[in-house]
Structure 1
Amino acid sequence: MKSILIIGMGRFGHHLCENLAMLGNDVMVVDQKEEVLEDLLPIVTSAKIGDCTNEAVLRSLGIANFDICFVCIGTNFQSSLEITSLVKELGGRRVISKANRDIHAKFLLRNGADEVIYPDRDIAEKMAVRYSANHVFDYIELTQEYSIYEIPPLPEWIHKTIREADIRNRYHISVLGIKREGKAQLMPPADYVIQAQEHLMVIGKKVDIDNILEKMK
């Protein structure tokens, strides 16, 4: 459980808050508009109305007490930049800021952000990969080289154990989990027998997974 501050309660801030609270974190939210905070009051530890470009407002929050500070200002880049810089100056341990453009990310990183997130870009990339390939059910990019894919088994894997299929040595990927009817079994043993109706969650280099997907065409 972590202590988390979220500044800016637009759509992304709302979703972030709801998920962090659901995972048991202590969440404080701040926005200039009272109405955007009302529905979050039952799930957050604290909510405050205020303009975080005002240093006095930020000081009153006790920035240094939070494990993570999210700056989720999406419509006013100047405010996002000012708030990010102030949060870091006031002792923010880990400052994560939302960006809409690459140039914004560069300035945010230079002015105090430890990390920059691109929700719209990340979702668009994920959807592009998922829907441009016929056999990809889900996709998570880890680095520019490695990703996690949810794919069906190759015909030669069916009714074989993971060990017999020799997936890691022959295809240079690792099986992280098996999904069947929406339920996942993580870290299956080497003697797990792969079935036709299952999906495999695999991790590996994109080039190696692309070679597998090519065999499915």
Structure 2
Amino acid sequence: MKTVLIIGLGRFGRRLATRMAELGNEVMIVDQNAEIVEKLLPYVTDGKIGDCTDEEVLRSLGVNNFDICFVCTGNSFQSSLEITDQLKTLGAKRVISKADRDIQAKFLLKNGADEVVYPNRDIADKVAVRCSMNNVFDYVELSQGYSIYEIPPLTKWIGKSIKDLDIRQRYKISVISTKEEGSLNMLPGPDHIISGSEHLVVIGLQKDIDHILEQLR
């Protein structure tokens, strides 16, 4: 469990708040819109109405007591920049700020953000990849060139075990789970026989997964 401060309750901030609370975290929300704060209060630990560009408002929150502070303001990038800077000045341990463009991310990182997220871009990228390829059921991009894909098995894999195929050495990927009719089999063993009706959840470098995707076209 973590203590989380979420500043700004637009669409992304609201969803972040409810999901973080569902995952068992202590969540405090702040926004200038009293109606939105009140609607979310049943789902979070605490809430406050206020303008976080005001340093005194931020100071009153005790930002240094939170494990993570999210800056999710969307109407004014200037406000997001000011809040990010003030959070770090006041001793916030970790600040994650929302950006819509690379230039915004650049300034946020220079002004104290420990991490920047692009919710609109990330969702668009994921939808584009999934919908552009008939054989990709889900996709997550990781750091350092790695990705996770949910794909059907290659025809030549069906009826053979992971060990016999030597997938890790031959294809440079790892099968981290299999899915069949809604049932998830995590970390299948080397003797697992791949069936034509299951999906494989694989992890590897994007270039190595791309080689498999080409064979699935």
The interval holding the TM-score normalised by the smaller chain is: over 0.9
Q: Displacement of 1:187 after TM fit?
A: 1.0
1:116 paired residue number:
116
Aligned-residue offset at 1:85: 0.4
Matches within 5 A, 1:148-187: 148-187=148-187
Can you list the C-alpha shifts for 1:16-56, whole angstroms capped at 9, x where unaligned? 01110000000000000111112211121110000000011
- Secondary structure of 1:37's aligned partner: helix
Give the Cα separation in 1 of the matches to 2:20 and 2:147: 24
* Partner residue, 2:64: 64
Where does the alignment leave 5 or more consecutive residues of structure 2 unmatched?
none
State the Cα deviation string for residues 64-100 of structure 1 (Å, max 9, x = none). Answer: 0000000001120000000000011001000000001
Q: Deviations over 1:104-132 (max 9, x none)?
A: 11110000100000000011111111111
- Aligned-pair Cα RMSD in Å: 0.9
CA distance in 1, matches of 2:85, 2:129: 35
Deviations 1:147-193, CA, capped at 9 Å, x for gaps: 11100001111121111121111111000111112232211111111
Query: Counterpart in 1 of 2:133?
Result: 133
Q: Is the 8 A contact 1:152 1:199 kept in 2?
A: yes
Q: Is the contact made by 1:156 and 1:165 (CA closer than 8 Å) also made in structure 2?
A: no
Write the letter of the residue equivalent to 1:27.
Answer: V
Distance 1:107 1:182 in 2: 43
User: What TM-score do you get using the length of structure 2 for normalisation?
Assistant: 0.97
- Matched ranges for 1:1-217 at <5 A: 1-143=1-143, 145-217=145-217
Give the Cα–Cα distance (whole angstroms) in 1 for the partners of residues 49 and 10 of structure 2: 14
Q: Is the 8 A contact 1:27 1:44 kept in 2?
A: yes
Given that 1:95 and 1:113 are in contact with CA atoms closer than 8 Å, whether structure 2 keeps it comes out as: yes
TM-score, normalised on structure 1?
0.97
For structure 1, which segment, 27-36 or 185-194, has the greater mean C-alpha deviation from structure 2 after superposition? Answer: 185-194
Report the more deviating stretch, 27-36 or 203-212.
203-212
**Structure 1 unaligned spans of 5+:** none
Secondary structure of 1:27's partner? strand
Q: Is the 8 A contact 1:173 1:205 kept in 2?
A: yes
Aligned-residue offset at 1:144? 5.2
Say which is worse superposed, 35-44 or 11-20, in terms of deviation.
35-44
State the 4+ residue runs in structure 1 displaced beyond 2 angstroms. Answer: none
Query: 1:94 touches 1:114 (CA, 8 Å); kept in 2?
Result: yes
Moved more, 31-40 or 76-85: 31-40
Query: SS of the counterpart of 2:197?
Result: coil
CA distance in 2: counterparts of 1:184 and 1:200, whole angstroms: 10
